[in-house]
Structure 1
Amino acid sequence: MEVSNSKKRPSIRFEDLFHGIDPNTLVIDNPIQVPNSFYRELLDCSMERSYLDYVSERKAFPQKTGETQPFKATWLQITRLPVHPDNSDSYDLFNRWQGVLSSLHAWGYRFLFLLQRREGKTHLYLGAMSSNPNFIASDAIEQVKEASSGSMPGVELRALTDMEAAMEINFPLQGYGCMGAVTGLPSFFSEKEPGVLQTLDSLAFGIRGTQNEDRPYSLLVIADPISDAGTNEIINKMRSIGSEIHSDVDRRVNLNESNSTSGQKGLNPYAAAEVSKMAGVGLGRLMGKMGAKIGTEIAPGFGTAIGQAVGNGAGRLLGSAAGVALGQLNKTTSSSFSLTVDTSYLDKYAQYAEELTEKHIERMKQGRNLGYWNVGVYVLGKNRKDVTTVNGMLRSIYSGRESYLEPIRLHVLNGTSGAMDIVRGGFNMIPLYNASADGMSEDVEWHVFGRNYQYLSTPMNTKELALTTSLPRRDVPGLRFVKTAVRFANNPPVTEGDTICLGKLVDMGVEQKNEYRIEPDVLVRHALVTGSTGSGKSTSGKRILKGLLEKKIPVLIIEPAKDDYVRWAMEMNRHLPQDMQFRIYMPGHTELNGKELNRLQLNPFEPAAVSGAKVDMTARCENLIALLNASLPTSDILPVLMDETVYNLYRGFYGKEFVNGFPMIQQEKYPTLDLLTKMAQLVMDKKHYEQKVKDNLMACLETRFQYLNRGTRGRLLAVKRSTDYDNLFSRPTVINISGISSAKDKALIMSLLMLSLYEYRKSIYENDAEYRSCADRNKLLHLTLVEEAHNVLMKPETDAGGTGNPQQVVADLFSNMLSEIRSYGEGLMIVDQVPTRLIPDAIKNTNYKIVHRMTAPDDCQVMAASLALREEQKALIPSLPVGHAIVYGDKDDAAAWVHLSL
């Protein structure tokens, strides 16, 4: 179907719409200019303190004038620092040191930290001074010591006298020829606490010259506490500036421009609608592109969004206007153009200044928690080269993730500037004002954040100051590190009645006021004292023995080597009452230091018992046979022959009464060792061996029995009667057998003593009702201390050669005694250097463990297990000082660290 020409749509081109628009009118001027230098200068001067860059060039610094006397500094020297015995990081020295500084801030004193390297040694000093006329030096030192000891238990500090301070601090400082300074904010490498690389270890180790000579230098840190009000004032200034900055960080500009044309033109209604549609869509798209272009040039990142908004708005407006105008058929045609541009401009200088302001405020808020300081860091050395080297080392220590807030700057000051006189003369910080300028003085405030920023120093919070003065963590000459930073029980055991004080409790290496006390009766369940030579085992033993003597409890000391207890007993006899004085026996000696000694006699055949009590002769015979067989080298048939010889000797003396095995009354006469040979001959005569065999066996027996009758052991054992057992086991006694040279002989003699002790305790228990009543209540009625117990308690080795093994017999005897003798009121104290060579029961079946310093890992492991120690506590054992021990008994909640006293 054809359409009439009258109804055909008019052909209108899009570009016809803009014939009346001047393109020059579309150009929009941009009133926003590149920012001025205000914020850059604010960053450089006030925030990052760029004025410090020129300090090294200054030829003079203002000196204090007037008659004001310099304030007196008082000093402490750090002579020992505690560290964890196994892991140095476990002690957390940094946070503890931070706690010390926080405590010092509260007192308001100027704090001085001096690391001095001289004569190849490192010295650490802490000082305090104040402008307060009521400042008392002794009080300040005491407070510094209290803060250090409280936060770092185990630290050792020495107060310096005025003369010592002059010789050790002032005079060395006067000997330097060059000085430098370090400014800027120290920070950590990572979010974790600083490692060894961010401590003063490298500086404390020293620097060396080309000839390997040690170079002297000093690091002096002067820290003035800033009050909370002063810190808050700085924060408020920062916030005020931050508010002003924020208004200029992100600026927005709105620009409007319009243009219009008019004329006469005739269109039909259909054409008017088409034009309106085309204008609304096409022009909107064009304005969007134009707006994007403008926005991109003015404010990158915001151009596209702004352009779209501009274009859409312009398109809608233009389309509407075109539709209205063209809708008037054959009338006036009106075209209106409107352009709106929103421009956003980001000032990077202002943005960064705002970021720094917020970071500084956060730092200062931490300062309000733990303290805020004005800190001067100064380095003194013999020459410029040494100072530059130390400065560089400090920069590597202080620089971290956030040091950009105020960069670490290194300064080497002019030697004639007077800076050294200011610092070392009165321990003052160096002011930065120009003394020659009119109206300028130290009291004039020219910095936007206040006077604390007007020195060659850096305001820091306590955490930053702790990093600035971070204590070394490794041993260096002149500074000791003691591995004592371990926690132990702080509460002594709950005791009742009369007790014995072993010493003072120790925790983290620091002696406490609490005493560690034990009840005497707990020793009836035995004790083990162990430790290396010279660690204090004898001190422990003597302390307990002395306490028992004061309570009228008799003791027996068996000393196989040395004469330490003999001399101690002689000294004690000068103060003990007559009935409690020691009887001293030393086989092989008749006198010591002019003092006559008692003679010890020990007939192996004579059982021990209290006066009037019956004895078990059969049991004595069997035990003696076992001891002799183990003590003398035997093989094949010899043990049987020795058994028969001893048995027949007893039977020859006591007849049927002995054979029946019943208890016997004590005898006037007992067999002796010299009779063994004759009895052996009688035994052999009854044997139906070949004569040659008889002769060989008899020769063997005779050799062994004669061995027992010779020398010191013969004078001790080949006797008719033993020393009165009441004197040996019912009053204080020392038996020293150091005169017996053979270990096997010592084992035999000590085993006979222990056998007799056991028989005596059993006898008195069975025959004394009062004694038995006390023993049944677990009272300690007698204590035996066995020194160098490995001589009798050696862990037995397998004997495959038939040479005899006396340690096995003694070990078995002692194991039984540990289990049974406590029920008779007897306590045993075993003392030895190496616990792993003792029989297992010496560790398992003893109540109290007293462990001194030991170094062998296997010994430490065994004793740590018996003390129920944690790993870090076990690591302390090799580091225990002399006279210190870890103690654990059945009344303790946990093992305690004790400094034992005499």
Structure 2
Amino acid sequence: MKLKKPTEISVKDIGKGYYEIFYNSKKYYIALLRVLRALNREKQDDLEIIEGLRRAVESLVRRSKRGFTYSIVTTISKNGALTYIAILGKDKSVIDREIEVVTSLIDSMSNGNITLKHSKSGIIRPKILVIPLKSRYKVPVPELHKIQPEVVRVPEPLIKPIHNGEIYLGTTLSTSYNYPISLKAEHLFRHIGIFGSTGSGKTTTASIIAYRASLKGMKVLILDWHGEYTNILKKGKDKLSIFTLDATKPMSINELNINELISKPTELLEVFEQVLDLSPAQLFILDQVLERGSRSLRISPCWLKSLVELVAVYNAESRWSIEARDALYRKLKYLAANIHCSSSSNIKTTSINDHDITVIDLSKVVNTRLRTLYALLILKMLELSAVEHGILTDLLVVIDEAHHVLPSRTSEVTGIARKLLAEMRKWHIGFIIVSQSPSSTSSDVLKNTNTKIIHAIKSNIDKRIVVDSIIIRKELEDTIPYLKVGEAIIVTPEATEPIIVRIDPRPLINIEIEGSLSGYEIELE
């Protein structure tokens, strides 16, 4: 078949992945072989895959003289771009044998990087318009043809436990029907970990959960590291109260009382040890200063600057204590230099319970250490408020870029993560922990987040850290680096098998889920 102008061709699906094509009163048969990245390869280079495909095309060009026509076809639909090798000939039985030959040829020419899968029926419409394209290459492999990893089929009964939740996430992939997937409120209080490389869709997923949780009556507090959440949340069509606080400006939240925290030096010491990497000697001196100066710090309009002054006048007698005091002073002074202080009369007071969603924007705090200090102080104050006074309503806390706030460096830091995640749930406080670097995040985050949402992870180290914390099949694990933006693997305690889900990309709206799985006959694959 040689086409020189746009031509309409009639197509008949005859089953088992074959089609009859009628053109100029002649009948042809065509079979489609899906082009996929082989899953048994530890590391694949895109250039190597493209080069392998080019070598395979050159071989197919030589074989085309045997009475076959080969084409590389990319179909574009709502599911993305899918690429096939089409084998066209006049004898169906001969095409059967050619499928085996071409499959073996592609595997050999691509060094095992590409595999072919005979596709099922229903891909080609009854009538298609074929438009011939010219190329300046002798043997073209257009960039349009995108080779994806092989899709892993998920046993459908495993979807049932996370189908009827209150917080809609999206729909399943790799199943015969796109089942809606939702989270229950109990998932939030048992904490959620969202992991993925930059640009994989983590922030959008966290925003979706936070937004839809607030529609169900939960209060939400977001520690926004990059200042992205407010703009995403405001796309929602519901009339939610979204209150954003600039962390660089004076603020007062009733549930976050710094004076209560200052009166408990042990809690403050944990925070400063992480932020400033304090030595034991520096910790000892800071402990002494906090114990002796607690009252004066509580009444100070700028307690951190007052703390620097108290350290400066600390009576150090021995050589080691003088060196430790001076080093501590330099570290604290560097932090305090970036603090803006204001009298209490200029500070506006609000409450988490006054708004549906409260966003604390940390992005304008230029100093990363100070940004981490702010985030940890907020979490510590929230912990004290819950323990001492209780939270009046269910609260969901989103910690963005958690590898900065809850890193894996020291045991003291790990203790902060453990207490937050293991103890706060009894006060009806749930956490969404968002991180692009699981390997740099406290191990207690992985241990204590019972629901994990895994977007595309490119780093082998980060992928290994996450995979080691869950039970997952090897073929599903291999798809993690190739997940598209907005696609994620969902792991929950109820589902014994991780599930690939496309997070709903529509604007943030309250979506009511209709229907259930009870109407479907489900069989194990």
Normalised-by-shorter TM-score class: 0.5 to 0.7
1:745 alignment partner, SS class: helix
Structure 1 residue aligned with 2:146:
480
Count matched residues: 430
CA distance 1:129–1:539, shift in 2 (3 Å): farther
Q: Using the alignment, how far apart are the partners of 1:129 and 1:503 within structure 2?
A: 46
2:16 alignment partner, SS class: helix
Q: Secondary structure at the match of 1:795?
A: coil
> In the superposition, relative to structure 1, how do residues 603 and 762 fare at CA in structure 2: closer, same or farther (>3 Å)?
closer
Cα deviation for residue 793 of structure 1 reads 1.7
Alpha-carbon separation, structure 1, partners of 2:342 and 2:417: 21
Identity among equivalent pairs (%): 19
Quote the residue 2:123 is aligned against: none
Measured in 2, the distance between the counterparts of 1:549 and 1:607 equals: 27
Distance 1:854 1:820 in 2: 29
Task: After TM superposition, give the deviation of residue 601 of structure 1 in Å.
Answer: 5.3
8 Å contact from structure 1 (residues 483, 876) kept in 2 = yes
**Residues 129/531 of structure 1: CA separation in 2 closer, same or farther (3 Å cut):** farther
Out of 520, 523, 537, the position equivalent to 2:202 is: 537
Residue equivalent to 1:817: 420
What is the match of residue 583 of structure 1?
A: 243
**Partner in structure 2 of residue 625 of structure 1:** 269
**Partner in structure 1 of residue 294 of structure 2:** 650
Q: 1:796 aligns with which of 390, 409, 412?
A: 409
Match status 1:709 vs 2:336: yes
Q: Which has the higher helix share?
A: 1
1:528 aligns with 2:215: no
Instruction: State the match for 2:251 in structure 1.
Output: 600
2:303 is matched with which residue? 672
SS at match of 2:397: strand
Structure with the larger RCO, 1 or 2 (CA within 8 Å, 6+ apart): 2
Q: Aligned partner of 1:487: which letter?
A: R
| SS of residue matched to 2:372 | helix
Residues 676/793 of structure 1: CA separation in 2 closer, same or farther (3 Å cut): closer
1:752 equivalent to 2:412? Answer: no
State how far apart, in whole Å, the 2-side matches of 1:697 and 1:501 are: 53
Post-superposition CA distance 1:244-294 (Å, at most 9, x none):
xxxxxxxxxxxxxxxxxxxxxxxxxxxxxxxxxxxxxxxxxxxxxxxxxxx
| 1:152/1:852 CA distance change after superposition, 3 Å | same
Which residue pairs with 1:739 in the alignment?
364
Q: Encode CA deviations 1:370-403: one digit per residue, 9 max, x unaligned.
A: xxxxxxxxxxxxxxxx9xx5555779x9xxxxxx
Aligned to 1:845: 448
Alignment gaps of 5+ in structure 2:
1-6, 38-51, 71-87, 115-140, 506-525
Structure 1 distance, partners of 2:430, 2:422, is 11
Matches of residues 227-246 of structure 1 in structure 2 within 5 Å?
Answer: none
Relative to structure 1, is the Cα distance of residues 760 and 483 closer, same or farther in structure 2, using a 3 angstrom cutoff? same
Q: 1:894 to 1:635 in 2, by over 3 A?
A: closer
Q: CA deviation at 1:515?
A: 0.8
Shift of 1:646: 1.5
Aligned residue for 2:173, secondary structure, equals strand
Q: Which residue of 1 aligns with 2:10?
A: 74
Q: State whether residues 792 and 811 of structure 1, in contact with CA within 8 Å, keep that contact through their aligned partners in structure 2.
A: no
2:16 equivalent in structure 1: 99
How far apart are 1:490 and its partner, in Å?
A: 2.8
Q: Is the CA contact 1:505–1:896 (under 8 Å) kept in the aligned structure 2?
A: yes
Q: Deviations over 1:624-650 (max 9, x none)?
A: 133235434655744333222221122
C-alpha change, 1:634 and 1:542, in structure 2 (3 Å) is closer
For the 8 Å contact 1:852–1:886, the answer to whether it is kept is yes
Describe the superposition over 1:156-215 as per-residue Cα deviations: whole angstroms up to 9, x where unpaired.
xxxxxxxxxxxxxxxxxxxxxxxxxxxxxxxxxxxxxxxxxxxx97896137xxxxxxxx
Q: Secondary structure at the match of 2:468?
A: helix
1:460 corresponds, among 84, 90, 93, to 93
Secondary structure at the counterpart of residue 206 of structure 1: helix
* Secondary structure, counterpart of 1:460 in structure 2: helix
Q: 1:815 Cα deviation (Å)?
A: 1.7
Q: Distance in 1 between matches of 2:367 and 2:66?
A: 63
Q: 1:890 aligns with which of 474, 482, 493?
A: 493
Deviation, 1:679, is 4.0
The aligned amino acid for 2:9 is A
Matches within 5 A, 1:546-585: 546-561=211-226, 563-572=227-236, 575-577=237-239, 580-585=240-245
Mark the runs of 5 or more structure 1 residues left unpaired by the alignment: 1-70, 77-96, 105-110, 113-126, 133-143, 156-199, 208-218, 220-385, 398-428, 430-455, 590-598, 609-614, 654-666, 772-780, 798-807
Larger Rg: 1
Cα 1:708–1:822 shift into 2, 3 Å: same
Matched-pair contact (CA < 8 Å) for 1:504–1:512: no
Shift of 1:851: 0.6
SS of the aligned residue for 1:893 comes to: coil
Q: Which amino acid aligns with 1:827?
A: G
- 1:184-195 matches, cutoff 5 A: none
Write the mapping of 1:870-881 to structure 2, written as runs, cut at 5 A: 870-881=473-484
Question: For the aligned residues, what is the CA RMSD?
Answer: 4.5
Quick check: 2:407–2:441 contact (8 Å CA) kept in 1? Answer: yes
1:518 counterpart = 2:183: yes
Q: 1:836 to 1:851 in 2, by over 3 A?
A: same
Does the 8 A contact of 1:201 with 1:472 survive in 2? Answer: yes
CA contact (8 A) 1:489 1:896 kept: no
Letter in structure 2 aligned against 1:484: E
> Are the counterparts in 2 of residues 556 and 729 from structure 1 also a CA contact under 8 Å?
no
Return the letter of the residue paired with 1:525. Answer: R
Q: 1:675 to 1:603 in 2, by over 3 A?
A: farther
Relative to structure 1, the CA distance from residue 816 to residue 392 in structure 2 (aligned partners, 3 Å threshold; closer, same or farther) is same
Q: Normalization by structure 1: what TM-score?
A: 0.42
Distance 1:485 1:696 in 2: 60
| Structure 2 CA distance for aligned equivalents of residues 497 and 750 of structure 1 | 34
**How far did residue 816 of structure 1 move?**
1.4
Q: CA deviation at 1:716?
A: 6.4
Q: Which amino acid aligns with 2:373?
A: L
CA-CA distance at 1:784 after TM superposition: 0.9
Report what 2:460 is aligned to: 857
Contact 2:301 2:341 in 1 (8 A): no
Code of the aligned partner of 2:504: S
Q: CA deviation at 1:674?
A: 3.5
Q: 1:652 to 1:812 in 2, by over 3 A?
A: same
User: Do the aligned partners of residues 460 and 730 (structure 1) sit closer, same or farther apart at CA in structure 2, a change above 3 Å counting?
Assistant: closer
Change (3 A) 1:897 1:678: closer
Task: Name the counterpart of 2:42.
Answer: none
Aligned equivalent of 1:804 = none
Separation in 2 of the partners of 1:901 and 1:570?
Answer: 17
Per-residue Cα deviation, 1:854-887 (whole angstroms, up to 9, x for no partner)? 1222322332233311111111111111111110
Shift of 1:888: 0.9
Give SS of 2:217's match: coil
Matched, 1:205 2:57: yes
